[in-house]
Amino acid sequence: MWSQIVGKIRLAQTPLVNHWWNVPLYVSARGLTTTAMPYEERYFEMEFDFIDHNLVTKCSDGTTAIVPLAPKSVARFYQETMDALGTLGIEVKIWKMPVEIADPIPFDQDEQHASYDQEYVERFWRVLRSSDRVMQEFRSRFVGKSSPVHFFWGSFDLAVTRFSGRSAPVKADADVITREAYSHEVISHGWWPGQGPLGKPAYYSYTAPAPEGLSEAKVQPGFYSKDLGEFLLLYEDVRTASQPETALMDFMQSTYEAGANLAKWDRASLERS
């Protein structure tokens, strides 16, 4: 919920970029950052510092405000964050309702969720760092349109997405968010920490629209989940592999090739030779 509050501040302060690329956070040297955002004549940046465990807001005029990261309710964190911005002369209004979760509670009313465990936050950040490094290398092999490696605070996953360059058919039941996100053919890879029906941290890969025969494609390592409609590689299998980075790269490359070949992407012009 805390990342959603900061993410929504970024959303409010930045223009819409294709596929909602103005929404995510980014892995930084100390945690997760919004990167610099304009506010009147200044810029400001908000960073979750997972070393000293603070939310640090820095401005281009040299001013700084800090909100400690410690066990506290979402409502208290929301108020402290808005107060911190206020001390810097920054006023941002956001929609206070969380997204992409069941039974959402407005940020300023949520006294139910109040946990913060430094050890597990640091473990989470270590996984983000190691995954980001491999995903950046994977991204560099593609010369077609590709997203940055970024962290979506709604679905709570680190992701990188490749594009064929072709438009995708619009689903009749798609909402405005989905239509923007999947306006073009994509193959996406990412990592999420275990929420949802799987209940385990895992790397994933999906092709949208999914070509016929994708679920039967052979990839190595990993497997296809018919329940989720995507390829999965459990984080535990990567963590315990003799060469974890190689295992993750092989998963991303083989699932990309499966989707790109079946969807007849022009791989010769999209990939670095």
| Model confidence pLDDT, tens digit, residues 157-197 | 999 999 999 999 988 788 888 889 999 999 999 999 987 78
- Please compute the mean of the pLDDT values over residues 125-136 and round it to a whole number: 98
pLDDT given at position 174: 84
pLDDT given at position 219: 97
- Please compute the mean of the pLDDT values over residues 85-92 and round it to a whole number: 98
- Please compute the mean of the pLDDT values over residues 261-265 and round it to a whole number: 98
If asked whether residues 101 and 200 sit together in one domain, one would say no
Bridge partners for 67 per DSSP: 55
**Buried residues in 19-46 as b, exposed as e (16+ CB within 10 A):** bbeebbbbbbeebbbbbbbebeeeebbb
- CB neighbour list of residue 176: distance below 8 Å, 6 or more residues apart: none
- Please compute the mean of the pLDDT values over residues 215-230 and round it to a whole number: 95
If asked whether residues 37 and 122 sit together in one domain, one would say no
Mean model confidence pLDDT for the chain: 96
What would the pLDDT profile of 205-219 be if each residue is shown by its tens digit?
999 999 999 999 999
If asked whether residues 244 and 185 sit together in one domain, one would say yes
Neighbours of 101 (CB within 10 A): 14
Q: Is the pLDDT of residue 106 over 90?
A: yes
Q: Which of 77, 109, 141 is the last residue of a domain?
A: 109
- Please compute the mean of the pLDDT values over residues 255-260 and round it to a whole number: 98
- Please compute the mean of the pLDDT values over residues 104-116 and round it to a whole number: 98
If asked whether residues 183 and 82 sit together in one domain, one would say no
Q: Is the pLDDT of residue 233 over 80?
A: yes
Sign, CA dihedral 86-10-55-35, equals negative
Q: Which of 85, 109, 133 is the last residue of a domain?
A: 109
Q: Can you list the alpha helix ranges (DSSP code H) found in the chain? A: 2-13, 74-87, 118-140, 176-181, 235-239, 244-262, 267-270
pLDDT given at position 198: 87
- Please compute the mean of the pLDDT values over residues 245-272 and round it to a whole number: 98
- Please compute the mean of the pLDDT values over residues 78-100 and round it to a whole number: 97
- Please compute the mean of the pLDDT values over residues 141-152 and round it to a whole number: 98
If asked whether residues 131 and 100 sit together in one domain, one would say no
Greater confidence (50 vs 174) lies with 50
Per the rule left: phi > 0, alpha: psi between -120 and 50, beta: everything else, 213 is left
CA angle at residue 97 from 17 to 119, to 5 degrees?
85
Looking only at the bridges linking them, the beta strands covering 42-49 and 54-59 are: antiparallel
> In total, how many domains does the chain have?
2
Q: Is the pLDDT of residue 239 over 90?
A: yes
Q: What is the pTM of this model?
A: 0.95
If asked whether residues 125 and 225 sit together in one domain, one would say yes
If asked whether residues 61 and 136 sit together in one domain, one would say no
If asked whether residues 96 and 189 sit together in one domain, one would say no
Contact 167, 7 (CB under 8 A): no
CA distance 129 to 131: 5
If asked whether residues 253 and 152 sit together in one domain, one would say yes
- Please compute the mean of the pLDDT values over residues 52-56 and round it to a whole number: 98
If asked whether residues 101 and 133 sit together in one domain, one would say no
Residue type, 84: A
If asked whether residues 144 and 237 sit together in one domain, one would say yes
Domain span including residue 65:
2-109
If asked whether residues 95 and 223 sit together in one domain, one would say no
Q: Is the pLDDT of residue 87 over 80?
A: yes
Q: Which of 54, 89, 109 is the last residue of a domain?
A: 109
- Please compute the mean of the pLDDT values over residues 123-138 and round it to a whole number: 98
